């Protein structure tokens, strides 16, 4: 059984230790809370990166559940805690099953659990595939802005991989003021390419859209290149393709060979997180035995401690931090609470007396 409560009811019932509350927030509610608020969410992501950079967060390593009988599939647990005005603990539990795409389902599905930092009790479960895509896209838009401030702002964007994440990234770029003369698209799936082009038309894009059969053509014709694939190992190996010094958002983390990264300026969201699990930056570290190829983090750029060069390709490789999911999830929760739309689950917690 569910019921709707107002914010005042939530405040009145949240803390009594004998009667913790628990709410479920659906994907539709998540979409309603986030739709059209791209600028606000990018600002939230920037503030969260700054909190993380200042040490006001806990973001342990992600945990990967893999399956011997389903080698392409995985489920990942991202525990985290973030301070500041967000002030929440929690866990994202996200699955990646690439075979879903053949059945017409999105590759990823996820839930997010929010925990009260005072009692540890979970107080909400949110549908989180939208939250995950949103924080990824907001992070990409933020990086595109900061990493292009020392050069001419890109007007030619290329999407390498044209699934849901590419769609969200374009939405966030458009929603934060980016306009492009040309949009290039490339994908190994013709259906994905067609679907993404249909989305661009529906979104009202006035840019000239070009479908590139060649990955090289897409990269060479783009000042801003966005990798949003499901690649498990590097497949782009020629540094020469990047001789025009584009900004590269390496969202999918495993597309670029070590040679490409070694000829570029490299920025990550978090050094320790990004250099593991055989990501492209991790492969560079394994090959060279050091981390000298890294120029810094996005937070270093925002603080002025590192500057992206204009005379080299600039690559941003974000591992994706759980604190970002928490920040966006708490934002959604607060929006639902303010609207009086929290759905409480009666008696979710049971047997709360220590000795019965």
Q: What is the CATH number of the domain that holds 30?
A: 3.30.1780.10
Residues 12 and 148 in one domain: no
Could you tell me the CA-to-CA distances from 289 to 243, 282, 293 in Å, in that order? 26, 10, 11
Residues 60 and 123 in one domain: yes
Q: What are phi and psi of 200, to 5 degrees?
A: -60, -40
Q: Reduced to 3 states, what is the DSSP secondary structure of residue 109? A: strand
232 in a structural domain = yes
148 in a structural domain = yes
Where in the sequence is the domain holding 42, given as residue range(s)?
2-131+322-345
Residues 170 and 312 in one domain: yes
216 in a structural domain = yes
Residues 48 and 124 in one domain: yes
Residues 24 and 111 in one domain: yes
Residues 23 and 90 in one domain: yes
Count of structural domains within the chain: 2
User: Quick one: average pLDDT of 166-193?
Assistant: 96
Supply the pLDDT for residue 1: 43
List all residues 6 or more positions away from 338 whose beta carbon is below 8 Å from its beta carbon: 7
List all residues 6 or more positions away from 353 whose beta carbon is below 8 Å from its beta carbon: 18
- Among 96-110, 141-155, 157-171, 272-286, the minimum mean pLDDT is found in 96-110
Q: What is the CATH number of the domain that holds 191?
A: 3.40.50.720
Averaged pLDDT of the chain? 93
pLDDT single digits (tens) 61-80:
989 999 999 999 999 999 99
28 in a structural domain = yes
**Ranges assigned E (strand) in the chain:** 2-5, 23-25, 57-58, 63-67, 70-82, 88-96, 108-115, 122-127, 156-160, 182-186, 208-211, 224-227, 247-250, 265-268, 294-297, 314-317, 342-345
Supply the pLDDT for residue 355: 84
Give CA–CA dist 21/121, Å, rounded. Answer: 9
Supply the pLDDT for residue 5: 43
Residues in the chain: 356
Residues 209 and 258 in one domain: yes
List all residues 6 or more positions away from 84 whose beta carbon is below 8 Å from its beta carbon: 47, 48, 51, 56
pLDDT single digits (tens) 91-111:
999 999 988 988 888 888 999
- Among 2-6, 53-57, 253-257, the minimum mean pLDDT is found in 2-6
User: Quick one: average pLDDT of 16-28?
Assistant: 80
Residues 35 and 100 in one domain: yes
pLDDT single digits (tens) 258-306:
999 999 999 999 999 999 989 999 999 999 999 999 999 999 999 999 9
pLDDT single digits (tens) 305-333:
999 999 999 999 999 899 999 999 999 99
* Residue % of the chain over a pLDDT of 90: 86
Supply the pLDDT for residue 19: 62
- Quick one: pLDDT band at residue 4, thresholds 50, 70, 90? very low
Residues 216 and 158 in one domain: yes
In three-state form (DSSP H/G/I as H, E/B as E, the rest C), the secondary structure along 257-276 is CHHHHHCCEEEECCHHHHCC
289 in a structural domain = yes
256 in a structural domain = yes
pLDDT single digits (tens) 217-256:
999 999 999 999 989 899 999 999 999 999 999 999 999 9
Q: Reduced to 3 states, what is the DSSP secondary structure of residue 189? A: coil
User: Quick one: average pLDDT of 53-61?
Assistant: 96
């Amino acid at each position: 059984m569910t019921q709707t409560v107002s914010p005042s009811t939530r405040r009145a019932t949240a803390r009594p230790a004998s009667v913790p509350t628990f709410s479920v927030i659906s994907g539709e509610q998540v979409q309603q809370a986030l739709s059209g608020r791209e600028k606000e969410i990018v600002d939230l992501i920037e503030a969260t990166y700054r909190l993380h950079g200042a040490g006001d967060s806990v973001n342990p390593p992600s945990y990967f559940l893999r399956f011997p009988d389903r080698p392409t599939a995985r489920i990942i647990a991202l525990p985290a805690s973030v301070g500041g005005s967000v002030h929440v603990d929690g866990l994202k539990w996200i699955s990646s099953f690439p075979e879903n795409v053949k059945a017409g389902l999105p590759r990823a599905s996820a839930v997010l659990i929010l925990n009260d930092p005072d009692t540890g009790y979970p107080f909400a479960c949110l549908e989180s595939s939208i939250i995950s895509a949103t924080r990824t896209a907001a992070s990409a838009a933020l990086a595109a802005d900061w990493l292009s401030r020392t050069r001419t702002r890109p007007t030619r964007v290329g999407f390498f991989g044209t699934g849901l994440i590419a769609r969200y990234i374009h939405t966030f770029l458009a929603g934060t003021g980016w306009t492009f003369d040309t949009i290039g698209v490339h994908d190994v799936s013709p259906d994905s390419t067609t679907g993404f082009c249909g989305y661009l038309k529906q979104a009202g894009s006035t840019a000239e859209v070009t479908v590139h059969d060649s990955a090289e053509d897409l990269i060479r014709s783009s000042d801003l290149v966005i990798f949003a694939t499901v690649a498990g190992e590097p497949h782009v190996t020629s540094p020469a393709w990047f001789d025009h010094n584009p900004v590269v958002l390496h969202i999918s983390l495993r597309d670029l060979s070590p040679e490409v990264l070694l000829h570029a300026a490299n920025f990550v969201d978090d050094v320790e997180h990004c250099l593991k699990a055989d990501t492209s930056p991790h492969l560079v570290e394994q090959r060279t035995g050091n981390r000298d190829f890294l120029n810094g983090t996005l937070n270093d750029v925002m603080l002025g401690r590192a500057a992206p060069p204009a005379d080299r390709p600039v690559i941003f490789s974000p591992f994706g931090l759980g604190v970002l999911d928490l920040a966006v999830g708490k934002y959604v929760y607060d929006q639902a609470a303010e609207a009086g739309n929290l759905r409480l689950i009666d008696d979710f917690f049971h047997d709360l007396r220590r000795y019965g």
